[in-house]
Structures are given as C-alpha cells and as structure tokens.
C-alpha cells in the first residue's frame, strides 16, 4: 500500500506542508462533522482522465529535504508523507488504478529557494535546476503520461533565468508558483512587480502558469485577488493560468471563500477576460468537510462556471487516487451534468502538443 493515510489526514498534511504550522488546517471541517454523503450505490460519475495537480519529488529534492525539514526557519516538523520517496511508477500505478491517463506534475524544486530554509543554501539554484531537469525528463521517460511544470520561486532572482532556461524546452508545459512556500506577499508592491514580470515572461514564452496563490496573510481574500487581477494576471495575456486549490491552500475556510468569491464577481462582470483561467479542485474538501462549506463552494463553482474548474488531487496528499475521485470528489453537491463538465475538462494546456506548440519560432 503506497498511501497509508485517510484523505482527511492528507488534507491536514497538505496544509501543514505549505503553511508550516498556521491554524488554517485545523479549522477545515474540525468543528462540524457531517456523515459522508457517499454510498456504495451512488451513481458513478464520468472518469477523470487528467489529474491537473500532482507532485513527485526529484532525487535532488529528496536529498535536500532533511536539511529543509531540520531548518530553524520551519515552524513545525515535515509530515512523513511529504518526505516519502514516491517514484513516478508509484504515481502511474495510482493513475492506472483510477483510470487517469495523464497527470500534470508540479516540480517541487521551488522548495530549495523557500525562505523556510534557514540559513539559505548557496547551492539552492543548483538544486532547483536539478529538480526541474529531472522533472522535465519525465515527459520523455513516460511518453504521454505527464505534463511537466518546472518549479520557481517568483520573488527569487533565479525565477526569470530558470524560465529562460526552459523557455524553448518542448518537454515543459509551464511553471509552478507556490506563493505560501515562497512567502510572496500580494500587499508588497515589490513582490507584486516580481510576480507581474514572471507572468509577463509566461506570455512571451507560452509557459503555462500554475499558481498556488494563497499568501500567509491571516486575512487573505478578496483584496489580494483584486491586486492579482489588476496587476499580475493581465501580464500573462492569453497564456493559460491555473489557480490551485480553488484559490486557497487546501480546505475550505473564510479566506478561501473570500478569494474565490472575488474571482466569481470579476468573472461575472467580464467573462471574456477569463477564457485562459482555470481553478483546480485539489484537496479542497475531504470526507469530513462540513456540508455548509461544501454548499458555499458549490455555489461559487456555479457562479464562476464549472467549465473553469479542473480535476486535481495534489498527489500524494489526497490518498489513493481511485478513492479520491470515486468517493471524496462526489461529496461536493453538484449536478451530474456539472460534474461531467469538471471531470472531463481537458483544456488545451493538458496536451502533449501544448508544450511543443507554445514555443514560438
Ligand atoms: Zn500541490
């Protein structure tokens, strides 16, 4: 058994991993327990064919993790599942069992440049590069199975050079940005300017963007999304932008609903502006998430439009992929038609060809 933990434990772990000890995880579903709505004879939903958010650590990052997890910059210990050495074959076995044909792999190279690593390692840019190179090689090692996103820290001086290095690499679909882990701040004009330059480069290179955009601000929410929509997102032009965890960091709480609510308002006001924007539903709820939180999320999914949402697991944090998509996913109270739209949603950037065709002559 590869994953010996429940989806709920996985959700907690995912949040701890990214936030290093904020209380956000504890609030998700801990107060009100509702019985699972999943029953053995629930109608089967359409198969998820593409998982839009998965991680497999590279050897460079696995070597680095003992230093990172022992760093005085961390507030809490690294969860065991986070440090476990899953192989690409482990993920493929999970995909095959779940009927998932392809996964978008988010390189965890950005961990090397996390400010949680204290003191910073002089060799961090080399670890980042090695992690990204190893991830890129998965595209050719397992043809068709993986789309590859290199990791960058958007507020590090290595961000644009790293993007330049992979700009014309046909194995690479895009970049993964982890705002919480990089401790970028959407209320700091210099950080916003750096993010804008990264998005501008994504426009020039066609590198699709995947962004975990929740910051560490306790009152993260609508005002941060407003800054993002005004100063950052337009720089990407029509390049695909996928927003992780429905604009949160895993789980449903006030700040995440505030952020997604701000997106809903902006999208309802001008749908044409958001043709390139998707939200992934990775680790946003689990088997214990309260019914009113699920209802609040479902309402926002409807306002934004199910066609803007994509299936995702945040592997290895959600438990077995087959269970996650068959049992945990259906808890969100959407109609069968809405679920079919989301579960079969495969935007252009999913394809093998995207990574090649994004490269301009
Ligand atoms: Zn993730």
The distance of Cα 310 from the centroid of its chain, to the nearest Å, equals: 11
The span from the CA of 276 to the CA of 306, in Å, is 14
Q: Which residues contact 133 (CB under 8 A, 6 or more apart)?
A: none
User: Can you read off the two tokens belonging to residue 48?
Assistant: 């998820």
Q: How far is the CA of 53 from the centre of ligand 1 (A)?
A: 6
Instruction: Give start and end residues of each alpha helix (H) in the chain.
Output: 7-19, 24-27, 59-69, 80-83, 88-98, 124-141, 159-166, 179-182, 189-205, 222-227, 254-269, 291-304, 321-323, 336-343, 352-357
Answer yes or no: are the C-beta atoms of 106 and 146 closer than 8 Å.
Answer: no
Give the pLDDT score at 43.
53
Q: Is residue 33 part of a domain?
A: no
Residue 241 three-state SS: strand
Q: Is 350 exposed, middle or buried (0-12, 13-18, 19+ CB in 10 A)?
A: buried
Q: Is residue 227 part of a domain?
A: yes
Give the pLDDT score at 45.
87
Q: Cα(first)–Cα(last) distance of the chain, in Å?
A: 47
Q: How far is the CA of 50 from the centre of ligand 1 (A)?
A: 15
Q: How far is the CA of 177 from the centre of ligand 1 (A)?
A: 10
Domain of 200 in residue numbering reads as 7-19+47-357
Q: How far is the CA of 250 from the centre of ligand 1 (A)?
A: 9
Supply the angle between the helices 291-304 and 336-343 in degrees, to the nearest 10: 70
Q: Is residue 162 part of a domain?
A: yes
- Sign of the Cα torsion 152, 154, 158, 161 reads positive
Q: How far is the CA of 361 from the centre of ligand 1 (A)?
A: 32
Q: How many domains does the chain have?
A: 1
Give the pLDDT score at 16.
34
Q: Is residue 193 part of a domain?
A: yes
Q: Is residue 264 part of a domain?
A: yes
0.85 exceeded by the pTM? Answer: yes
Q: Is residue 270 part of a domain?
A: yes
Q: Is residue 1 part of a domain?
A: no
Which residue in the block uniquely carries the two structure tokens 């941060």? Answer: 224
CATH number of the domain that residue 340 is part of: 3.20.20.140
333-343 core/surface letters (b: 16 or more CB in 10 A; e: else): ebeeebbebbb
Q: How far is the CA of 284 from the centre of ligand 1 (A)?
A: 11
Q: Is residue 34 part of a domain?
A: no
Q: How far is the CA of 55 from the centre of ligand 1 (A)?
A: 6
Helix, strand, coil shares of the chain, percent, nearest 5, are 50, 10, 40
Q: How far is the CA of 266 from the centre of ligand 1 (A)?
A: 25
Q: pLDDT 10s digit of each residue in the chain, 361 long?
A: 222 233 333 343 343 344 333 333 322 333 333 334 444 445 578 999 999 999 999 999 999 999 999 998 886 789 888 999 999 999 999 999 999 999 999 999 999 999 999 999 999 999 999 999 999 999 999 999 999 999 999 999 999 999 999 999 999 999 999 999 999 999 999 999 999 999 999 999 999 999 999 999 999 999 999 999 999 999 999 999 999 999 999 999 999 999 999 999 999 999 999 999 999 999 999 999 999 999 999 999 999 999 999 999 999 998 999 999 999 999 999 999 999 999 999 999 999 999 999 998 7
Q: How far is the CA of 169 from the centre of ligand 1 (A)?
A: 23
Q: How far is the CA of 357 from the centre of ligand 1 (A)?
A: 26
The candidate with the shortest Cα–Cα distance to 34, out of 247, 287, 204, is 287
The span from the CA of 313 to the CA of 86, in Å, is 15
């Amino acid at each position: 058994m590869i994953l010996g933990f429940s989806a709920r434990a996985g959700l907690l772990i995912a949040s701890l991993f990214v936030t290093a000890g904020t209380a956000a995880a504890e609030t998700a579903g801990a107060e009100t327990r509702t019985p699972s709505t999943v029953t053995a004879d629930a109608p089967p939903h359409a198969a998820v064919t593409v998982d839009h958010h998965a991680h497999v650590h590279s050897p460079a990052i696995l070597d680095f993790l003992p230093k990172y997890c022992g760093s005085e910059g961390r507030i809490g210990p690294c969860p065991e599942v986070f440090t476990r050495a899953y192989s690409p074959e482990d993920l493929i076995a999970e995909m095959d069992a779940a009927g998932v044909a392809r996964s978008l792999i988010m390189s965890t190279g950005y961990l090397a440049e996390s400010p949680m690593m204290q003191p910073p390692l002089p060799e961090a840019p080399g670890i980042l590069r090695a992690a990204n190179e190893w991830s890129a090689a998965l595209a050719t090692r397992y043809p068709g199975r993986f789309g590859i996103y290199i990791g960058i820290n958007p507020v590090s001086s290595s961000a644009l050079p790293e993007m330049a290095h992979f700009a014309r690499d046909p194995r690479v679909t895009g970049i993964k940005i982890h705002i919480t882990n990089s401790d970028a701040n959407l209320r700091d004009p210099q950080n916003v300017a750096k993010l804008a330059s990264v998005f501008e480069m994504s426009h020039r290179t066609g590198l699709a963007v995947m962004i975990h955009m929740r910051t560490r601000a306790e009152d993260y929410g609508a005002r941060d999304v407003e800054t993002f929509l005004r100063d950052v997102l337009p720089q990407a032009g029509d390049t695909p932008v996928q927003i992780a965890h429905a604009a949160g960091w895993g789980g449903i709480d006030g700040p995440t609903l505030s952020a997604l609510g701000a997106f809903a308002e902006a999208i309802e006001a001008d749908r044409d502006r958001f043709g390139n924007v998707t939200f992934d539903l990775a680790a946003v709820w689990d088997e214990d998430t309260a019914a009113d939180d699920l209802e609040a999320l479902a309402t926002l999914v409807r306002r934004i439009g199910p066609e803007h949402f994509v299936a995702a697991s945040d592997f290895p944090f959600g438990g077995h992929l087959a269970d996650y998509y068959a049992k945990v996913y259906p808890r969100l109270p959407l109609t069968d038609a809405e679920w079919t739209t989301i579960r079969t949603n495969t935007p252009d950037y999913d394809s093998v060809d995207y990574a090649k065709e994004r490269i301009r002559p």
